[in-house]
Amino acid sequence: MKRINRYGIRSLERDFPNNESCLNFIFNTLHKPICSCGGTFRLLTGYKKYQCSKCRFRISPTANTIFHKSDTPLSLWFKAILIFSNAKSGISAKEMERQLEVTYKCAYRILSQIRSALKQSNEPLTGVVEMDSAYIGGRHYGGKNNEQLSRAMKKKSVVTIAVTRGGKIRAEVRPNVTADEMEDFIMNNISEGSNLMTDNAKGYDRVKGRYDLEKVNHGKGEYVRGKAHINTIETWISHIKSSIRGTYKVISKQHLQSYLDAFVFHYNNRYSDKGRFEVLLETLLHA
142 binds Zn ion, rule: CB under 5 A: no
Strand partners, 212: 195
**CB half-sphere exposure, 155, CA atoms < 13 A:** 13
Judged by CB under 5 A, the residue of 4, 9, 34, 55 near Zn ion is: 55
Helix (H, G, I), strand (E, B) or coil at 3: coil
Are the C-beta atoms of residues 179 and 206 closer than 8 Å to each other? yes
User: 98, 163 in Cβ contact below 8 A?
Assistant: no
CB of 26 vs Zn ion, minimal distance in Å: 19
| Of 39 and 203, CB closest to Zn ion | 39
Binding range to Zn ion, per CB under 5 A, among 21-29, 47-55, 205-213, 267-275: 47-55
- Per CB under 5 A, the list member of 52, 162, 207, 260 interacting with Zn ion is 52
Q: Does 149 bind Zn ion (CB under 5 A)?
A: no
By beta-carbon proximity to Zn ion, the closer residue of 42 and 98 is 42
- Structural element, H or E, at residue 6: none
Amino acid occupying residue 254:
Q
Helix (H) or strand (E) holding 227: none
What is the Cα–Cα distance from 98 to 83, expressed in whole angstroms? Answer: 12
Among 174, 150, 146, 139, which Cα is nearest to 160's?
A: 174
Nearer CB in complex with Zn ion: 40/150: 40
- x/- mask, Zn ion, residues 2-41, rule CB under 5 A, reads ---------------------------------x-x-x--
Q: CA separation (Å) from 183 to 2, 63, 120, 124, 168? A: 35, 42, 19, 14, 20
Q: Please, which residue, 4 or 55, has the CB nearer to Zn ion?
A: 55
Stretch that binds Zn ion, among 15-23, 57-65, 175-183, 245-253 (CB under 5 A): 57-65
Count of residues interacting with Zn ion (CB under 5 A): 7
- Is 49 a residue that touches Zn ion (CB under 5 A)? no
Could you say whether residue 59 binds Zn ion (CB under 5 A)? no
Task: Give residues in contact with Zn ion (CB under 5 A).
Answer: 35, 37, 39, 52, 54-55, 57
